[in-house]
A and B are shown apart, each in its own frame.
Chain A
Amino acid sequence: MIRKSVSDYPLVILALLLSAYGIAIVYSAGQTDFPVAYIVGAWKRQLGWFVLSLVAAYALFRASVRLVDWMTVPLYWLGIGLLVVTLVFGSGAGTAASVKGWLTIGGVRIGQPSELAKLTVVLMLARVLASRKEAPKSLLDLWKPAAVVGLPWLLIMAQPDLGTGIVFIGIFFALLFWSGVSWQLLALIASPAVSLILAFSTGLWGAWFLILIALVLYYRPYIVEGVVLVLANVAMGVIAPLLWERLAPYQQRRLLVFLDPSADPRASGYHVLQSQVAIGSGGWFGKGYTLGTQKRLAFLPAQHTDFIFSVVGEELGFIGVALALTLFLLLFMRVVRVASRANDSFGSLVAFGLGASWFVHVVVNVGMTLNLMPITGIPLPFFSYGGSFMLASWLAIGILLRISSEGRGRADTLAV
């Protein structure tokens, strides 16, 4: 086993800064006028998880990427197994009480297997894609990667946890991109989903369909694939309005509220609206650390988990938001650098996949606080209170550090 010391300091420092920032905000989230004991003490538990995570990350860093590679398959199936167990015996918690996302044994919540699955899917997908000599060029080539993501995705959607489902799709597309799949093929794969969304406007859907035909003619897939794709798009276009009819009124309302939160300010749109008010009232410098009134007076929902970024916006203002976003951006840039310099394709794909997973989390979670994204309950990495996610994030940092330390100093010396 090769022994190395941590050499990618920028990566570690960025992750440490983000974690410290996050724990500080979790502390602030507990400072309310009518304190909830569970939330007041959250920062201490989060700090405990953080310390534990550092130990775990260091341990994983000391392990070889080969070991990770070797463990990928068993870990993947362990993840699948836990998801199945959760689906049967799981329980809900907090804001997502109706979502069976928690593995519970004897009434004690052990953790969220979906957090483990995010890691193992990245590893498994990287392994499958790295094993190919060439990037997938046709839909047929994609059946295996699709199955790797599809199986846990279905289990997650059955919980149902739409947010994590989105993360899996993000990871899937990101890794296909990183493995060299052409953007035209990516567009074709994504086309049925686009059809589903655009089906509500006949004109838009028609335009999209023409673009699709042009894309198919240009890309020239196999005939069968082409036909399947076109048919899938047509089917989505037809199904969408039917699906809408099938939705329960509350589900329809939720979608409509995403389009216009003020339509129903007391009910479904209330949370997003209050989040926007919190952020908007923050101004340049915010209302001061721990002093956010929206948070203190309980107007802000789930201020220690899903809407923790609203606390940043309210108390530290645009400056605080810009600082957090900059730290994230720098972290992601660093991850891209690690992925670019990895000394093998597996490591490179793993690094990129881990980064992509965070990226989807950040965009969806932060976007949600401003109603740019629908409310899905995806946590914000390093910020949202939650042990499993903190641990998973730092395990990812451990893996990234390892990949970074094994990587080449210069990208142009990479082996093909």
Chain B
Amino acid sequence: MSFHPNEVQRRGRTASVILAGAFVFLASAFFRTQILEHAQYTLQSETNRLREVPLPAPRAIIYDRHGAVIAENLPGYSVSILAKTADGLRVALRGLSGVINLTPEQIEAAVRRFKQAPNRPTTVLADASFDVVSVLEEHRVDYPGLIIQAAPKRYYPDKEAVASFVGYTGEVTESELNQRQYRNYKSGQEVGKAGLERQYEAQLRGKEGTHFVEVDARGRVVGEAGGGRGDIAPESPEALYTNIDLDLQRFAASLFGDSLQGGLMAVDPKTGEVLAIHSAPSYDPNKFIGGVSTQYYSQLRDDPRRPLYNKVIQGLYPPGSTFKLATAIMGLEANIVGLDDRMPTPCTGGYFFGNRYFRCWDRKGHGNVNLRQAIEKSCDVYFYQLGLRLGIARMLAGGVSLKMRDKSGIDLPNEKQPLWPYAAEYFNKRYGTGGWSNGVLLSLSIGQGENSQTVANMAKFYTALATDGSVVRPEIVRRQTERTKLFRLSAEQLDGLKQALAGVVSSRGTAASAQIQGVVIAGKTGTAQSGVFRNGVELNHAWFTGYAPADDPKIVVVVMLEQVPYHGTVAALMASKMIEHYLKRPTIQGAQLEGD
């Protein structure tokens, strides 16, 4: 080799330069990665090792008007799994099912949840019992991705008594997640499904917190401590105060007992505050929390009495004689009848229209009655003739203006719109022009025929009769009273109707048995044909719509018993018990509480 010292020295220098160059290059590469791109890699490193475990926030507590608890949160446990892939989750769940009972459906549901939100821990059991949790804690080491955490659990202390309006919560569904209103929700989260829980979801829902857990490359949970990252605490929203009088609500529910089915609503006619609202039979909302069992759900679904169907806002029923006040108001407003006017044909237990005989409910007949007496006795023959005198156009327009086609506007979801023909055209369309006669007027005038109302809307209608003719929108939570003038009658006319309503609940009227000591109740009974027969007898929808005290109404009560072998008098009896309970109860609690 060429080994002259000068050459060696020259090569040594070249080698040193190459060395230095290579190391400067390496060092600058590290400088770029470690110093210039530090933030980006730190984020990636943190994302690698930290998993966010959501801390569910308790929902707002729901109180009644006196501060009694309607819905609260109990401590519970949820079990979830951190998985990297759907297959990994399946393996983990199959392993888990050796320790706790997991049905194949539960496993598939968990896998679906995982696919919706793969970066969140997948909920396996939303509401795990303490037994299950202690078993899992024992086997914790075997299930590295397992997360057991405290999860507040919704609880309704009054169970069936409050279900009709408070509703229940449940896990947000896939189809809900696709809706705009649920865009801020994530799979596995709790959402109001019915009643107030659904209506006031935005106010009731808490703000989820975050707990960090450290995981290794295989998804095993290394430290619960959060790898140095503190928890973000969940935030619970402010309590929701309702207008409900829980004591009255319980009483209302108890009135129905186990056998009666139907709806009840009690409203303060001046403010629209809903004091009680109950649909019977009811269901236990607590059984829906954490996922309703198939068994309980199918039991409710298959019950012919339809417990899941709200008979106050969803059930549509012919209002029967309770509607006669609407007919009377239309007649008085149109100036075609006066309070003391009699009809051409006295009641002899029925009325011939053409060749068809329309019966009065009382075969004995009411004789020659005026409007006041016709209301007290609920004389059908009188109202047949009043209806005919109104004519189809005025009758239908009158019903529309009395809001017989409108929802009550109560703050509950899924209220149904009542049925009432908007104009004669309705009949033309339905039966063909000339395919129907003015006979429909006779049915309509006594609250039968093409007329189906909700209990809530009838209660709203009677708030106008209880006051100065203004209806008030029923409010369970809201506190802005919305009153609208429903009809324009003179003071004497309105007074006359009120006296007649008071006469109904007197020895002269149809609800004589509903009288109570010391309080004058005003109201109207109704008995509508249901079209359902039992033992060869047609069952009725028995109504009572009324208010008390008659001179200064503090409560409007509507009771509707669905498919019963009784008349409206039974409903009136229940309503009077409600009124008695509400007005005669010692009022120590209410007076002392603020804002009441």
- Is this pair of chains taken from one and the same complex? yes
B26 touches A130 (CB 8 A): no
Question: Min CB distance, A338 to chain B, in Å?
Answer: 10
Within 8 A of A (CB), among B1-46: 1-9, 11-12, 14-16, 19-20, 22-23, 26-27, 29-31, 33-35, 37-38, 40-42, 44-46
- Among B15, B34, B220, which residue has its beta carbon within 8 angstroms of that of A34? B220
Stretch from B210-218, B246-254, B270-278 forming part of the interface with A: B210-218
Query: What is the 8 Å Cβ interface bit string for chain A, positions 165-179, against chain B (1 contact, 0 not)?
Result: 000000000000111
A47 at the interface (CB under 8 A from B): no
Residue on B nearest A326 in the bound complex, by CB = B23
Contact between B15 and A363 (Cβ–Cβ < 8 Å)?
no
The closest CB in chain A to the CB of B19 belongs to A332
For residue A336, give the distance in angstroms from its CB to the closest CB of chain B. 5
Would A414 and B5 count as touching, CB distance under 8 A?
A: yes
Asked if A135 contacts B1 (CB within 8 A), the reply is yes
- B189 at interface, CB cutoff 8 A: no
Instruction: Give the size category of B's interface with A.
Output: 35 or more
Chain A residues positioned under 8 Å from B49 (CB to CB): 293-294, 297, 299
Chain A CB within 10 A, most for which of B1, B2, B27, B37: B1
User: Which residues of chain A are near B12, meaning CB under 8 Å?
Assistant: 336-337, 339-340, 411
Q: Are B41 and A411 in contact (CB under 8 A)?
A: no
Q: Does B332 contact A (CB under 8 A)?
A: no
Question: Once bound together, how far apart are the Cα atoms of A297 and B214, in whole Å?
Answer: 9
Contact A318 B1 (CB under 8 A): no
Q: Is the CB of A281 within 8 A of B5?
A: no
> CB-CB < 8 A to B26: which residues of A?
325, 363, 366-367, 372
A window 335-384: CB within 8 A of B: 336-337, 339-340, 345, 348-349, 352, 359, 363, 366-367, 370, 372
Q: Determine which of A178, A322, A413, A416 lies in contact with B11 in the assembled complex, contact meaning CB atoms within 8 Å.
A: A178
The residue in chain B whose Cβ has the minimal distance to the Cβ of A174 is B15
What string of 1s and 0s marks CB contacts (under 8 Å) between A263-297 and chain B? Answer: 00000000000101111111110000000011011
Evaluate contact between A135 and B34: CB separation under 8 angstroms.
no
B222 within 8 A of A: yes
Contact present for B41 and A134 (CB under 8 Å): no
How would residues 193 to 230 of chain B score, 1 for a CB under 8 Å from any chain A CB and 0 otherwise? 00000000000000000000011111010110001000
Determine if A297 and B222 form an interchain contact, defined as CB atoms under 8 angstroms apart. Answer: yes
A96 on interface, CB distance cutoff 8 Å: no
> Chain B at the A interface: mostly helix, strand, loop or mixed?
helix
A328: interface (CB < 8 Å): yes
| Most B Cβ at <10 Å: residue of A177, A293, A337 | A293
Give A310-326 as 1s and 0s: 1 = Cβ < 8 Å from B's Cβ atoms.
00010001100110011
Answer yes or no: B48 CB below 8 A from chain A CBs: yes
Whether the Cβ atoms of B34 and A416 lie closer than 8 Å is no
Is B41 a contact of A279 with CB atoms below 8 Å? yes
Please, which residues of chain A bring their CB within 8 A of the CB of B27?
A: 321-322, 325
CB of A44 closer than 8 Å to a CB of B = no
A416 to B1, CA, bound (A): 9
Give the residues in chain B near A340, CB-CB below 8 Å.
8-9, 12
A33 within 8 A of B: yes
If the complex has contacts A283-B42, A340-B8, are A349 and B1 also in contact, measured as CB distance less than 8 A?
yes
A297-B41 contact, Cβ under 8 Å, with A276-B33, A359-B22? no
Of A132, A298, A336, A359, which is within 8 A of B1 by CB? A132
A281 near B23 with CB under 8 A, answer no
The CA-CA distance from A175 to B66 in the complex, in Å, is 96
A329 beta carbon closer than 8 Å to chain B:
yes
User: Which chain B residues border A129 with CB–CB below 8 Å?
Assistant: 1
Query: Are A333 and B1 in contact, CB atoms less than 8 angstroms apart?
Result: no
Check if B3 sits within 8 Å of A345, measured CB to CB: yes
CB distance from B369 to the nearest CB of A (A): 88
Known contacts: A313-B30, A317-B34, A411-B8. The answer to whether A276 contacts B41 by CB under 8 A is yes
Q: A416 — which chain B residues lie within 8 A by C-beta?
A: 3-5
**When the two chains form the complex, which single residue of B8, B31, B214, B216 contacts A318, counting CB atoms closer than 8 Å?**
B31
Interfacial residues of chain A within 362-416, with CB under 8 A of chain B in the complex: 363, 366-367, 370, 372, 411-416
Contact flag A372-B29 (CB < 8 Å), given A349-B1, A411-B8: yes
The closest CB in chain B to the CB of A32 belongs to: B216
Q: Name the B residues within 8 Å of A328 (CB-CB).
A: 23
Q: B33 and A279: CB pair below 8 A?
A: yes
Give CA–CA (A370, B34) in the complex, Å. Answer: 10
B16 to chain A, nearest CB (A): 6
**B23 x A329 contact (CB < 8 A):** yes
Q: How far is the CB of A354 from chain B (nearest CB, A)?
A: 13
Task: Give chain A residues whose Cβ lies under 8 Å from the Cβ of B7.
Answer: 180
Q: Is the Cβ of A413 less than 8 Å from the Cβ of B1?
A: no
B3 to chain A: which residues have CB within 8 Å? 180, 345, 348, 414-416
Which of A298, A313, A333, A337 contacts B34, CB < 8 Å? A313
Residues of A within 8 A of B (CB): 33-34, 129-130, 132, 134-135, 177-180, 274, 276-284, 293-294, 296-299, 313, 317-318, 321-322, 325-326, 328-329, 332-333, 336-337, 339-340, 345, 348-349, 352, 359, 363, 366-367, 370, 372, 411-416
A-B contact pairs, 25 of them (CB 8 A): A34-B216, A34-B222, A178-B1, A278-B45, A280-B34, A280-B42, A283-B34, A294-B49, A296-B222, A297-B214, A298-B216, A298-B217, A321-B30, A332-B19, A336-B16, A336-B19, A340-B12, A345-B1, A348-B8, A349-B1, A363-B26, A372-B26, A415-B3, A416-B3, A416-B5
Contacts A281-B46, A325-B26, A328-B23 known; 19 new A-B pairs at CB < 8 A = A134-B1, A180-B3, A278-B45, A279-B41, A280-B45, A281-B38, A281-B44, A283-B34, A293-B45, A294-B48, A297-B49, A336-B12, A345-B1, A366-B26, A370-B30, A370-B33, A413-B5, A414-B5, A415-B3
Which B residues are closer than 8 A to A by beta carbons? 1-9, 11-12, 14-16, 19-20, 22-23, 26-27, 29-31, 33-35, 37-38, 40-42, 44-46, 48-49, 214-218, 220, 222-223, 227
